[in-house]
Every structure is written in structure tokens, then in C-alpha cells.
Structure 1
Amino acid sequence: MMNRIILIGNGFDLAHGLPTSYTDFIRGYYAIQKLGLLEDAYELSDGLCSVKISSPEDRKTMNLFRSILSNGMFQLTRNLGEITPLEHFDKFFNDNLTYESKFFEAINKAIESKNWVDIESEYYAWLKKIFRQSSCGYTTPEQLNKDLDLIKTYLTVHLSLVQKENIKPDLAKECIRKTIYEPFNARDISVGAQGLFEEFLVARLKYLSTEDDREIDSFLHRFGQSFGKTHSDIESYKESVQNPSAPDSPDIAKHLKKVNENKGEVPSCFLLPEQILLLNFNYTKMADLYIPERSDFEVNHIHGELGNDKNPVIFGYGDELDEDYKRISDLNDNSYLTNIKSIRYLETDNYRRLLRFIASAPYQIYIMGHSCGNSDRTLLNTLFEHRNCVSIKPYYHLREDGSDNYIEIIQNISRNFNDMQTMRDRVVNKSYCRPLVPREN
């Protein structure tokens, strides 16, 4: 048999219009702080930042904002024109804001300069600064870990609201559903795995030629197909590859030739994966909307789930291949390892179940919205370089200006390999790839 793993990252949620980026989170965090200030407070402090309205003039301005909003007025008229109170209030808020966390300040500056930030990568960079005794505002990891815990708390609150308010069944996109459950394409399979692919093709042909109708119907049902509608296609195809010298046996060579020619003559049921695993690196349940009812396909929430104490959220860094990691782990100081993902994975059986899946049969990898960055490097290296991995196919993001991030994904994928020759064989070239969501969708 041959399986498929769908790597689901934050770009997957963003492709469905969910405000789940770290930039969205930071904006949401400030919205909560501003709301608290607009209610009745003159001082706010939570360990990440503080706002203190102390001067009589500033307090007078603050009271004016509260009055405007409580009266439902949306514009202030000035001699220089009209300005919206919220825009004016944003500047007032920022002028009175003080960062209490150097790490949180760095994240915000990264957003201001690049319009995005990878909090987990930033965390590891700061952990290494502490290890190297660089001047960064922290002398030990304990306070940095506390700051990260605060951010994690606010992040889970933000994402919980998104999950509750935004994730509905009708949000699922048919173009993504079709991609997840599409048949294998021979041209996607690596050269080194051609033998494994042929074994799968022969086994599936024999299965559909000899298995009873009830069993085949059960298999097709997982993909939203029925044996009744597919039966005639199967029988017609079996006749087309019949062995003249042995009528009861298919001509394997003819079958393999048809698959490799890729002319659409082979019914999809001969090329469907045996099992599909959605490996969700997000914390939301958006991926769960793509599992058909009564299907035995699974979502592995490898980084935890919101509101599930039995599968707690994992938020940190996972790059044991980094040159500094070995030296940090040799310190005999557990505070440096508090937020290392590969250790946190042991809190549940998610990682063990994934290992069992990749060891069970050859598999193809689809990448949907995962940047394949270094923060998940240990896990991705395990998946990408495993002997059973036969193909890695990125579904890239198509930007409004027509550009895309295919090359960026490939650059990141390359960092998860030790054997670059294997990487070049397994990664599907761009001419055979396509956007996760086409422009018309």
C-alpha cells in the first residue's frame, strides 16, 4: 500500500480567511489592552507591556476618547480636518506604552519592519543569546520562558475566539478537499521510489480485480465514491489491460505503461492512497472539516489542541540539528529545554502514532500552508529523510501581484535535509505543482 501525509501549517488557516497569523494575534492583543484602557483604567500592566496615563493633560485626553465612544460619535472635527478617534487613540496609546518584556518588544519591532514574525524562531534566537551571554536583557532563561508563557496564554485565548466564532463547516474549500483526496500522479514520485510505486500499483490492481464488491465499496466510501458508480469503470479498465495469453490475469506491464503515460485512461480508484493522515501543526480544528463522516482517516494535532487538557498546546522550538543545540543541552540546565518541542512531544502519544504511520508503508507528503521553517526542523527531517518517503509536493501561496512563495518553501525544505541529492529527487518541481487556492477561488 501507499499513503499520503498532509502537512498543515498556518497558511492553511489563512487560506480560509482565518485571522490566525502572529500579526493578527498581536493586533488582537493590543485591541484587548486598548479596550481595557477605554473602560476605566489609567494604568495597565501584564508583564509584557504597560500603559500609564499620568499627566492631567493625558488623562483629560483619555476621558475625551471615552466620552466620544460612549456617545457613539465616530469622528472628531478639528480645524485641520476630520480624523477618526480610533486612529488618534492608537497614536495616543502607543505614545504611553512601555515594554516590560525585551522579547515582546523584539517581536513587535519585527512585525513593524517585516509585517510578519515567527515567535518560535525569535524565542530560540533569544535563548541562544542568553546561552552566549550576550547583552539582551536576560541573564537566565527563566524570565524569557515566563514571557513566552504569557504570550502563549494570550495566543490561545485569541485562537480560541477565532475557532469559536469563525470556523464553520461551510468554510471548507472544495478545491482543497479535491486535492487532499486526489489520486497519485506518477510524475510526482521520486526516481528512487519507482520500485515502491510499481509495487503499490500492482497490489491495487490485484485488489480491485479480486476483492469482493462489499470490500471495494467500503474502500471507495472513504473518498466519497461509491462502488455502484465506479464498478463499470473498473470492469472496463480491467478489460483494457487484460493479458491475452492469460485472460484471468491483468497485463501488469500494460497497466504500468498506462499509469506512467498519464493520459487519463486509468480510473482514479487504481491510484488513490490507502490511508491519508492530516498532520496539523496548527492549534485550531480547521483541518478536521476535511475528514469525511464515517471515515477512518485521521487528523493528528501534533502541536496540541485548544481547550484539550489531554493534548496541551506545544509552543516553542524544535531544531535539534542546529549546531548550538547540542552545546545547550549539555549545560545540565533544564530551563534551557523547557520549550523544546521534541521533549514536549512526549507528553502525548501524537509523535509515537506519527512514527507508526510513517513506518507502516511508503508515503507521499503534501505541504499545505506550512513554511517548513527551522522551528519544526527535527520533526520535518524525520519525515523528509525517512526511507518510506517517496515524494514531497508543496502547494504554494499565490499572492495578489501574481508572485508566489514556491522557492521560499523549497529553500526551507532544503534545510531539513542532510542529504541534498535525496532532497532534489523527492521534492516535486514547480511545473508539476500548483497554488493551494487558485486565484479564482
Structure 2
Amino acid sequence: MEKVLIIGNGFDLRHFLPTKYNHFICILREIESSNIVSDFNFENLFSNQFQRYDSFFYEKIKEFYTVDDLKFKKDDLNKIKTKLGQNLWYKHFKSIDDSHIETWIDFETEINRVLEDIVNLFDKLDNKIKNSNSSFNGIYYYDYRYNSEDHFDSSLTRILLTNLEIFLPSSDSGRFDLNDEYCFKIGNEVQIIHKNRILNNLYYSLQEFTGIFNDYFYSIVSKFYEKFREEKKDKFLKHHDINLLDSIDKIYSFNYTKTVEKLYSNKEIDYLHGQVIEDWNDLDDLKIVLGVDDLDQNLKKHKLFNFTKYFQKLHKQTDFQFLHDIGEISSHTFYFWGHSLDISDKEYIREVFDQLDQSKSKIFAPYIIDTKIIIFYHSISSKADLLNNLLSIIGKDEIEGLMKQKRLTFVQATEDNLFNVINN
């Protein structure tokens, strides 16, 4: 029997590492607003915005880690702060209400929404420029008391397009001017919109945001590993000196962190979306995949593939050959732990379920019947979310059939269950 573990962000959260999207944004806001003249301790960085947002998690971090002597280096924090002040995507994300983006899936959805709004803007501007009955001077209004057709579709669209500096606020109240960098004018009349320049700048800014993301995980999250409390390791990381993951043969990680290596032991891990690195001087050094799952036809028409995860995996040469070295002459147990099973990773999820199908599996027929999938869930509500996601990706008949055969099971991720199920 080969045991394959597939982990998502819930794995890191189970270890009370601050890896939620809103943890990330809270700490970035703290860094941006702080005067950093010396190294920060845990309280400096986490006791303000972070604690207000997630007091439960704040207390759990202190319960599981010795934070009193934890230090975050001044130079590292100022390096992040400098990048924040220049980044268009951060400017946008920090302005969006926390209830609008709560998870990394929401984060990806917001990137997609931004792209949709921009290409919709292109269509509107093209129509204005081609309209022979009137000229377009590049001015938009937000205050609808202005008797003008040149206005934003919504306040959210206005925020988006000004955050990304496609439009710039004027000294005139309610007026916004199309950024001169992105258009060609004769006199005051816009003749051409430099669409590629807009999209290229946005993609470059997203890559710079990936650098901020990398530095947050390396300079802040990774500092907790060495501080895990010894008294918390028993029954959490190990039982009777046996590490929880000792019997696992292979790990596929959708995370960017080194939690397995640092808290458990060295295992063979494929990082499907890349991993954080310590030092980098050029954006090409970063192999992190950060983007959307796919594009609709309208976005494909504008060739926005560089914003997709599959483009970035190919371009950055991350390990995109999922299950490429699966054993053919043994049955398998696939464990999903901390993965949302969301449609954004449907290709990976589908490939795992295919291993239980004799007509599609890479595993030889005699071993397929004993191959199974176990999904760990945090709570009853999270189990319902996971099942809903699976039904939308795999389908009712297949899910129901596998559950009746007990080849697909859901197990609550209690400490005892994790040890008993993984090490049975």
C-alpha cells in the first residue's frame, strides 16, 4: 500500500501558522503603517490589526509557539514596506472590504473580476473613440449629478480603476482622468488606448506582488517553525516518538511553505505551485504560481493567459506533472488534508479520482479495487463545503458510488483520527 498525502492551506492553519489571506493582508497593513526603526517582536507585528481581525488565532499562535523571543528583522520588514508603497495590486487589495475577500479562492476570484472589468472598459472606450458624433477627452465622472455619459459603472469599478491607476483623480471634485501613459491624444481627444501597456503593467505588478507574498512567508511565517512549543508536540506532531507523517510515501503540496520539513521530517514533496525562497534579486528567480484557474472566452480573446496558473506553471517550470511517478503495482490511499477541493483545482482533483477508475487509472487493475480516497475535514460545516465542491467537480453518481463502496470516506481531523487513519 502506497500512501499519498495532498495538502492545502488548511494544513498550515491546523499548525496555527498565519497563512490565511486576511492574515497576510493584516500584517502587510501593519508593516505599511509602521515606523520600523528596529527589529519587531511578535506583539509589535501581531497585537494590533491581526489581533482585532482574528483574536482566536492570535491566542492560538501564542499557545503553540514561544513568541516572546521571536524577532522579525527590521531590514526584512522595510524591504516589504518599500515594495508595498509601489504595488498597484496591493493598493487595490487593501482597499477591498475584508468581507469581500476572505480566502485565497476569493483572492483569485478578485483577480479575475479585475481583468473582466478592464476588458469591459476597453470595449466601452473603443466605442467612445469610434463614435463619430462626439469626441472623448478621457474624462470620467463619479458624481452622477454631472450630466455626462462618461461615468463609472459602479463605485467598485471606480475604486478598482483608480487603485490600478488606469484613471487618476483630478483636483476637480468627482472627476477622473484617463492616465496619459495609457492613451494617445491629438489635442484633447483620445485616439488610441494602449491596451497592451495596461495589461503588461498589471501583469508585472502581479509578479511584484508575488515577491511581496514570497517575502511575507519567508521573513514572517517561517520564523515560527523553530518556536513550536515542545510540550505541544506530543499528540499533535507525534505519538510516542512516531511522527504523524512517518508512514506517508509521497506528498503533493499546494502550499508554498516548508511546514512538513520543518515540523516533521524530510519527505519527498512536490510543490505544485512553487515554494518560497530566501534570497532573490530578480522576479525570474521566483517560481511561485499566483493567478486564476482559467479564463472565459472574452478574456482569452485578449490573450490574458499569463494571469493563469497553468501559464505560470509552464513558464516558471514548476512541478506541473501531478501523479507522474505513481506506483503501478500497489494499491494506494490518497489523503486530502486542508485542501478546499474547490473548482480552481479541478484538474488535480479529477486526476486523483481517475486513479480509482479502471479505465483511466495509472495503477494496474488488480490493485485499483483496494485504492481509496480519504478526505480530512475540520468541522461539519467544512465537510458540507467539501462534499458540495466534489459533487460539482466529480458528479453525484461517481461520488455516491465510491462512498457506498467505502472507497471515498470523510474523516474529522481530530488528533486521534489523524494518527489512527494515517498510520493504520
Structure 1, residues 120-155: CA drift from partner, whole Å, max 9, x if none? 232123223334448542665334424433432222
Tell me the SS of whatever aligns to 1:405: helix
Partner of 1:396: 377
User: Aligned partners of 1:302 and 1:35: how far apart in 2?
Assistant: 35
| Cα deviation 1:275-333 (Å, max 9, x = unaligned) | 7221111111002247646xxx51111111111777711111224xxxx535543x2x4
- Are the aligned partners of 2:335 and 2:374 in contact in 1 as well (CA < 8 Å)? yes
Q: Does structure 2 retain, via aligned residues, the 8 Å contact 1:176–1:436? A: no
Residue by residue over 1:239-274, the C-alpha shift from the partner in whole angstroms, topping out at 9 and shown as x without a partner, is xxxxxxxxxxxxxxxxxxxxxxxxxxxxxxxxxxxx
Distance 2:384 2:286 in 1: 34
**Equivalent residue for 2:76?**
none
Aligned partners of 2:253, 2:13: CA distance in 1, in Å?
A: 14
Give the conservation status (yes or no) of the 8 Å contact 1:131–1:328: yes
Which residue matches 2:313? 345
Match for 1:407 among 373, 384, 405? 384
Q: Hey, what does 1:32 align to over in structure 2? A: 31
Question: 1:107: how far off?
Answer: 6.0
C-alpha change, 1:377 and 1:142, in structure 2 (3 Å) is farther
Name the larger-Rg structure: 1
1:423 aligns with one of 390, 393, 399: 399
Contact 2:402 2:408 in 1 (8 A): no
Whether the 8 Å contact between 1:172 and 1:289 is mirrored in structure 2 is: no
Partners of 1:280 and 1:299 within 8 A in 2: yes
Q: 1:369 to 1:421 in 2, by over 3 A?
A: same
The reply on whether 1:125 has 2:113 as its aligned counterpart is yes
Q: 1:377 Cα deviation (Å)?
A: 2.6
Give the number of the structure whose residues are more often helix, by fraction: 1
Q: 1:31 and 1:392 mapped to 2: Cα distance?
A: 41
- Pick from 314, 319, 327 the counterpart of residue 289 of structure 2: 314
TM-score between the two structures when normalised by the length of structure 2? 0.54
Aligned to 2:373, what secondary structure does the other structure show? strand
Match of 2:273 in 1: 303
Question: Deviation digits for residues 357-386 of structure 1, max 9, x if unmatched?
Answer: 277765332121111223323332333334
Moved more, 122-131 or 105-114: 105-114
Q: Which residue number corresponds to residue 354 of structure 1? A: 323
CA RMSD, Structure 1 to Structure 2 (Å) = 4.4
> Which of 253, 257, 260 is equivalent to 1:287?
260
**What secondary structure does 2:291 align onto?**
coil
Partner of 1:278: 251
* Larger RCO, structures 1/2 (Cα 8 Å, 6+ apart): 1
Q: Is the 1:318–1:379 contact (alpha carbons within 8 Å) kept by the matching residues of 2?
A: no
SS at match of 1:314: coil
Write the distance in 2 (CA, Å) between the matches of 1:325 and 1:180. Answer: 44
Whether the 8 Å CA contact 1:414–1:423 is kept in 2: the answer is: yes
For residue 13 of structure 1, what is the aligned residue in structure 2?
A: 12
Alpha-carbon distance change, 119 to 150 in structure 1, aligned in 2, over 3 angstroms: farther
Rate the CA distance shift 1:288–1:354 in 2: closer, same or farther, 3 A: farther
CA distance in 2, matches of 1:392, 1:162: 34
Measure the CA separation in 2 of the matches of 1:412 and 1:180.
31
Assess, with a 3 A threshold, how the Cα gap between structure 1 residues 385 and 121 changes in structure 2: closer, same or farther: farther
Determine which of 196, 202, 223 is the counterpart of 1:165: 223
Matched-pair contact (CA < 8 Å) for 2:235–2:415: no
Q: Give the TM-score normalised by the residue count of structure 1.
A: 0.52
CA distance in 1, matches of 2:118, 2:48: 39
Number of matched residues? 284
Q: Is the 8 A contact 1:16 1:172 kept in 2?
A: no
- What residue number does 2:336 align with? 367
Asked if 1:433 is matched to 2:411, the reply is: yes
CA deviation after TM superposition for structure 1 residue 103, in Å: 7.7
Matched, 1:325 2:296: yes
Residue 112 of structure 2 is aligned to residue 141 of structure 1 = no
Contact kept in structure 1, 2:29 and 2:94, CA below 8 Å: no
Query: Is 1:283–1:306's contact at 8 Å kept on the other side of the alignment?
Result: yes
Distance 1:289 1:106, change over 3 A: closer
Identity %: 17
Distance, in Å, in 1 between the alignment partners of 2:119 and 2:264 is 44
Q: Distance in 1 between matches of 2:411 and 2:243?
A: 14
Query: Aligned-pair distance for 1:110?
Result: 4.2
Which letter maps to 2:113?
A
SS across alignment from 2:276: coil
After TM superposition, the structure 1 = structure 2 runs for residues 76-91 of structure 1, keeping only pairs within 5 Å, are: none
- How has the CA–CA distance of structure 1 residues 440 and 432 changed in structure 2, closer, same or farther, with 3 Å as cutoff? closer
Instruction: Work out whether residues 317 and 376 of structure 1, in 8 Å CA contact, stay in contact via their aligned partners in 2.
Output: no
With over 3 angstroms needed to count, the CA separation of the structure-2 counterparts of 1:123 and 1:132, relative to structure 1, is same
SS in 2 for 1:12: helix
